[in-house]
């Protein structure tokens, strides 16, 4: 038996969408740095930075549909799962290892149980983290009740895996009309939570309990499968300067201050509903329909797209460290922000190093090992 080359070659990328993923990831890091000084959800400096996750879900749905909708005659469900695992799982392991390595250095009043967590429990949580299985609240080792306490943002990867499974099992078989009905119902679920729920925002989804799972599925179902529907519809928007326009739109949507305050939660809920349901698909339609016309813009989009996922999944252990340091030492904003800037640059460096020294070589080895046919 001999191996033939990979039998399902990667398609060409939407370069602008890759670049936009990077723009959103950079804003997420800045949001998390500044969040340390915000005090509460009403005073966030980049107030809606958390909506980047919902934008990522929409992008993922679009890209999954583009990459796989027309290939089910050439691959099995297991082939699909292998490809998605090879794409996502290696960096989950790196993010978890970084979180474990920095864990005890993060001890501070804001993380009340780090100091009482034994090493064996840390190692157990790390091993579970490698699998992406969510931890119950009873196994919390930080005090924030996260399902992935060593690398908080991994909660969104857990939900993305669920979306991929739903897509492969059922939703890829939906007609466009049935998919549209499903997306509309998902939008209503999202609006109901945002406008009538207890928060007026989609902050949450990272704990393994009923209220947080409600948030997680409300955040997941509409954007991911709206992305699938958008790709199938093929209604793209063609304008000049698409990357700049879309980047500006993302920055505006994520930076707008909280609307309505604590007395009118529904007002912010209306804003976030509009942003997720209308503005984000509009941005993706423009990005997918646009073209890069300069070599420099191509390099920027390629770089941003390459580091976006490694940056998202590895930066948060540094945020834990930074948050613990600021709270424990009561560091003022004017002094601490310089270390926040250093964290921002360091996060990009770690993401790029992880990409080149680990992620790309490992994924290439896994592709050759598991994504080839034997002749």
Amino acid 169: pLDDT: 97
Amino acid 88: pLDDT: 97
**Whole-angstrom Cα distance, residue 140 to residue 144?**
7
pLDDT band at 354 (very low <50, low <70, confident <90, very high): very high
Residue 298 in this model has a pLDDT that exceeds 60: yes
Amino acid 267: pLDDT: 97
The answer to whether position 9 is within a domain reads no
The answer to whether position 274 is within a domain reads yes
Q: What percent of the chain has pLDDT over 70?
A: 96
Q: What pTM, to 2 d.p., does this model score?
A: 0.95
The answer to whether position 233 is within a domain reads yes
The answer to whether position 2 is within a domain reads no
**Whole-angstrom Cα distance, residue 151 to residue 153?**
6
pLDDT band at 204 (very low <50, low <70, confident <90, very high): very high
Q: Check if the beta carbon of residue 324 is closer than 8 Å to that of residue 106.
A: yes
Over the stretch 88-133, which tens digit does the pLDDT of each residue have? Answer: 999 999 999 999 999 999 999 999 899 999 999 999 999 999 999 9
104: containing domain? 15-370
Amino acid 3: pLDDT: 47
Specify the higher pLDDT residue, 141 or 375: 141
**Whole-angstrom Cα distance, residue 93 to residue 371?**
20
The answer to whether position 345 is within a domain reads yes
The answer to whether position 167 is within a domain reads yes
Residue 2 in this model has a pLDDT that exceeds 50: no
CA distances from 348 to 123, 308, 315, 351, 369 (A): 26, 9, 8, 5, 30
Amino acid 13: pLDDT: 81
Joined tokens for residue 166: 């739903």
Residue 25 in this model has a pLDDT that exceeds 50: yes
Give me the mean pLDDT over the 58-78 stretch. 95
Over the stretch 226-277, which tens digit does the pLDDT of each residue have? Answer: 999 999 999 999 999 999 999 999 999 999 999 998 999 999 999 999 999 9
Amino acid 374: pLDDT: 57
Specify the higher pLDDT residue, 143 or 3: 143
Amino acid 6: pLDDT: 47
Q: What percent of the chain has pLDDT over 90?
A: 91
Give me the mean pLDDT over the 305-327 stretch. 97
Give me the mean pLDDT over the 3-11 stretch. 55
The answer to whether position 214 is within a domain reads yes
Amino acid 375: pLDDT: 47
DSSP symbols for 49-95: GGGHHHHHHHHHHHHHHHHHTT-TTT--HHHHHHHHHHHHHHHHHHH
Amino acid 9: pLDDT: 65
The answer to whether position 8 is within a domain reads no
Give me the mean pLDDT over the 283-298 stretch. 94
Structural domain total, the chain: 1
CA angle 193, 174, 18 (to 5 degrees): 70
pLDDT band at 39 (very low <50, low <70, confident <90, very high): confident
Over the stretch 127-157, which tens digit does the pLDDT of each residue have? Answer: 999 999 999 999 999 999 999 999 999 999 9
């Amino acid at each position: 038996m001999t191996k033939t080359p990979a039998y399902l070659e990667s398609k060409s990328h939407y370069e602008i969408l890759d670049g936009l993923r990077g723009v959103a990831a950079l804003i997420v890091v800045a949001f998390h740095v500044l969040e340390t000084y915000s005090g509460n959800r009403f005073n966030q400096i980049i107030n809606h930075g958390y909506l980047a996750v919902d934008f990522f879900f929409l992008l993922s749905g679009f890209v999954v549909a583009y990459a796989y909708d027309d290939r089910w005659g050439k691959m099995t469900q297991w082939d699909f799962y292998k490809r998605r695992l090879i794409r996502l799982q290696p960096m989950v392991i790196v993010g978890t290892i970084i979180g474990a390595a920095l864990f005890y250095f993060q001890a501070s009043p804001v993380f009340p149980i780090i100091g009482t967590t034994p090493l064996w429990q840390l190692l157990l949580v790390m091993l579970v983290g490698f699998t992406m299985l969510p931890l119950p609240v009873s196994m919390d080792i930080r005090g924030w009740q996260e399902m992935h306490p060593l690398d908080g943002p991994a909660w969104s990867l857990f939900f993305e895996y669920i979306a991929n499974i739903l897509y492969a099992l059922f939703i890829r078989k939906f007609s466009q009309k049935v998919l549209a009905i499903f997306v509309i119902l998902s939008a209503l679920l999202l609006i109901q939570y945002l406008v009538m729920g207890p928060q007026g925002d989609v902050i949450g989804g990272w704990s393994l309990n009923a209220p947080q799972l409600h948030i997680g599925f409300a955040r997941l179902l509409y954007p991911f499968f709206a992305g699938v529907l958008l790709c199938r519809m093929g209604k793209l928007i063609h304008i000049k300067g698409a990357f700049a326009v879309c980047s500006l739109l993302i920055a505006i949507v994520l930076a707008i201050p909280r609307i309505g305050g604590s007395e009118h939660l529904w007002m912010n809920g209306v804003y976030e509903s509009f942003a997720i349901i209308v503005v984000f698909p509009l941005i993706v339609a423009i990005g997918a329909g646009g073209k890069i016309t300069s070599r420099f813009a191509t390099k920027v989009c390629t770089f941003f797209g390459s580091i976006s996922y490694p940056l998202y999944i590895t930066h948060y252990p540094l945020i834990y460290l930074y948050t613990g340091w600021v709270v424990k030492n009561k560091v003022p904003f004017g002094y601490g922000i310089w270390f926040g800037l250093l964290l921002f640059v360091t996060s990009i460096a770690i993401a790029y190093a992880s990409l080149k020294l680990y992620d790309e070589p490992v994924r290439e080895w896994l592709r050759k090992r598991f994504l080839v046919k034997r002749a």
